[in-house]
Amino acid sequence: MALIYRTAGESHGPALFAIMEGLPAGLELVPADIDTDLARRQLGYGRGGRMKIETDRVTVKSGLRHGRTIGSPLTLEIPNLDFPNWSEDRMSVWETASEVEPITLPRPGHADLAGMIKYAGQDLRPILERASARETAARVAAGGVAKALVRRYGIEVRSHVVRIGDVAVPYGRNLSVADFTGVDQSPVRCLDADASAAMRDAIKTAGQNHDTLGGVFEVVAFGAMPGLGSHVSGDARLDGRIGQAFLGIQAIKGVEIGSGFELGSLPGSRAHDEIFWDAERGYHRHTNRSGGIEGGMTHGAPVVVRAAMKPISTLSRPLASVDVATKQARAAFKERSDICAVPAAAVIGEAMLALVLAQALLEKFGGDSIGQLDESVARYLATVRE
């Protein structure tokens, strides 16, 4: 069975949910596998007031017994602690005694206007509630489970911020898992101390100017065995699936794998990773411009993905808009929001890469139980070494 997942829930509704189907029975999980990443998603200088309200923790509703998956759908719930403040009126599940005033001022850069047109609505609240990046807490929860699965087979997923606004660190460095020790201690999750301080200053200045900032983050999966993904069709190619997963994160507008866009400016003699072999390492490369993927498949080098996040669309000094009820020019609706969420987006990127790799791993090796999966992976890795 293929690994599939779905999320449900609204930003200010009772809870967020993630349902995962296709996990092998017997995968060991502990609360920290999920809760640690939920807490990391809330970190970062420039976050808004919502992070002071929520303390995200997962509650498992199905699919787990005695700390092990049982083969049935795994249901994860993350309560919204802010819901009681909304439950009587704006986000009441049932019809309210008094009318709730609609929000009719769509925000540029959000799903508001397109969603209202699509669903023939006159209130943007139903659109913004589901379109909100609050939904990604459920994806991070699912990603924590996926991380536990791929970690069992030597795959470790890490991330860091490489740009906020016009402050950047060099891309394309050969990093190891050890290089990420302490990255969460940086207020912007940047590995370079000087750049970290400059990024923090840039966010502070943006906030003082009633503005927001975007940036770029990098996610690296170490230890992915060769052969995950496939070359046989476009929707099976691992890089295509990674691109979709990352572009599905709110506010992500660009994705590159390996050297990505830079490859368009290089001659072929400098663009590709030459192949070498020796008895100790087997097949290997001296460079990784491909980002660990060739022909839609992993080839053994770290999988490197970068994503560009646009600035947050909700500004404390709102942009120009049009009232959909009167068609009069007005300032856009203002909702509580962040100044910069790139550090959090990097943690979400970890979850998405882990989910794609977990799906590819289960597709290749199969198995209804973790023991069957262990045996299949071990046999394959023995042939790779040979």
pLDDT of residue 316: 87
Q: Put the strands of the sheet holding 74-79 in their side by side order.
A: 4-9, 15-21, 74-79, 59-62
The Cα–Cα gap between 257 and 344 comes to: 20
At residue 316, φ and ψ (nearest 5 deg) are -70, -20
pLDDT of residue 51: 55
Q: What's the domain count of the chain?
A: 1
| 164 lies in some domain | yes
| 304 lies in some domain | yes
The Cα–Cα gap between 172 and 290 comes to: 11
pTM of the model as a whole? 0.95
pLDDT of residue 336: 72
| 346 lies in some domain | yes
The Cα–Cα gap between 82 and 243 comes to: 33
The rounded Cα 79 to chain-centroid distance in angstroms is 19
Q: Which of 350, 291, 338, 301 is nearest to 161 (CA)?
A: 350
Are 243 and 303 in contact, with CB atoms under 8 Å apart? no
| 94 lies in some domain | no
Place of tokens 């005033």: 101
| 158 lies in some domain | yes
| 246 lies in some domain | yes
The Cα–Cα gap between 223 and 370 comes to: 19
The Cα–Cα gap between 45 and 164 comes to: 11
Compute CA distances 236 → 217, 295, 296, 363, 384, whole Å: 25, 10, 7, 10, 22
Q: What is the residue-level pLDDT of the chain in tens, covering all 386 positions?
A: 699 999 999 999 999 999 999 999 999 999 999 999 999 999 888 766 555 566 799 999 999 999 999 999 999 999 998 888 888 888 899 998 888 999 999 999 999 999 999 999 999 999 999 999 999 999 999 999 999 999 999 999 999 999 999 999 987 678 999 999 999 999 999 999 999 999 999 999 999 999 999 999 999 999 999 999 999 999 999 999 999 999 999 999 999 999 999 999 999 999 999 999 998 888 999 999 999 999 999 999 999 999 999 999 988 899 999 999 999 999 998 877 789 999 999 999 999 999 999 999 999 999 999 999 999 999 999 998 87
pLDDT of residue 49: 57
Residue 222 bridge partners (DSSP): 156
What CATH number does residue 204 fall under?
A: 3.60.150.10
Are 252 and 307 in contact, with CB atoms under 8 Å apart? yes
pLDDT of residue 140: 98
Are 298 and 224 in contact, with CB atoms under 8 Å apart? yes
Q: Which of 322, 312, 326 is nearest to 113 (CA)?
A: 322
Q: Locate 14 and state its tokens.
A: 């009772």
pLDDT of residue 235: 94
Query: Residue 357 sits in which domain range?
Result: 4-89+99-385
At residue 285, φ and ψ (nearest 5 deg) are -125, 155
The Cα–Cα gap between 212 and 376 comes to: 48
The Cα–Cα gap between 263 and 304 comes to: 14
